[in-house]
């Protein structure tokens, strides 16, 4: 098995201390690893995808796609549909902040 790219990653998020994750893809001859990211605060080891201070550089342009802290590009409409299917009434791309909901 050939491991492509940097396989080392921090165990904990340097911003909030939660466990970090990373995506990987088996391409037949080996496994390609994406950047490590934090599912809690949005930190990414790749500055282009770091969302811990707000929107990342990868999402600077208005687009139909959104890139997460793991470097994975998602179609915004699919994200909205998935949230609705989970019973979550939230549009994450129109400025709604789930932390600012008023009861």
For the bound state, the minimum distance from the C-beta of residue 95 to Zn ion, rounded and expressed in Å, comes to 22
**In the 8-state DSSP scheme, what is residue 71?**
S
Task: Name the residue nearer to Zn ion (CB basis): 3 or 19.
Answer: 19
Residue 39 is a binding residue for Zn ion (CB under 5 A): no
Angle value at C-alpha 18, between 12 and 21, nearest 5 degrees = 70
Residue 41 is a binding residue for Zn ion (CB under 5 A): yes
Could you tell me which of 33, 38, 26, 36 has the C-alpha nearest to residue 1? 26
| Site residues for Zn ion per CB under 5 A | 13, 15-16, 18, 38, 40-41, 43
């Amino acid at each position: 098995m050939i491991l492509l790219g940097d396989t080392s990653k921090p165990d904990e998020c340097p911003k909030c201390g939660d466990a970090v994750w990373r995506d990987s893809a088996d391409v037949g001859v080996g496994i390609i690893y994406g950047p490590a990211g934090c599912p809690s605060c949005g930190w990414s080891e790749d500055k282009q995808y770091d969302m811990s201070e707000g929107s990342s550089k990868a999402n600077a342009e208005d687009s139909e796609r959104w890139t997460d802290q793991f470097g994975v590009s998602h179609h915004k409409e699919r994200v909205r549909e998935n949230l609705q299917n989970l019973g979550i009434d939230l549009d994450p791309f129109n400025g709604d902040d789930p932390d600012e909901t008023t009861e």
